[in-house]
Amino acid sequence: MNVSQESPAIKAAIEALRQKGEAMFQTIKEEYWPLVQTIFENLKGTFGLNVFGDEVEQLDKAHLISVIKQYMPKGCNEVVVMRRVEQEGIFIYVSYAKDRTLLEHDRNNYVIVKATALAEDVDVLFRESELIILK
């Protein structure tokens, strides 16, 4: 059977498929996309509430202690600090713990300090390990 794409039946079928596709796209846009946006906003709010950032040219011990104290939540007796050297700079990640156990997510604060250099008094803290626990 040789059917031409110019036939009225083929054109009608293609038009029906186009309309179905547009209707499906419209349904996704109107009904599902707002739900997806709500989910992402809720997730962003959950993680974003307790994350803080700071950026300095050179990070010294006095500034690190100041940042640690500024965001220290109640109930912690230790601070977990990790250093990562990346192409964009040096990143210090801070989170809080009690008796060597990180505080629960909703009670903890997470701080990211970006620096272009570390002062000697901070650099010496990380000579033996990228991760340290401060009391």
- String of DSSP letters for 2-49: ---TTSHHHHHHHHHHHHHHHHHHHHIIIIIHHHHHHHHHHHHHHHHT
120 CB neighbour count, 10 Å cutoff: 8
pLDDT tier for residue 35 given thresholds of 50, 70 and 90: low
Q: Does this model's pTM top 0.85?
A: no
Largest CA distance in the chain: 84
pLDDT tens, 50-102?
888 899 999 999 999 999 999 999 999 999 999 999 988 999 999 999 998 88
CA of residue 30 relative to chain centroid, distance = 28
pLDDT at 3: 53
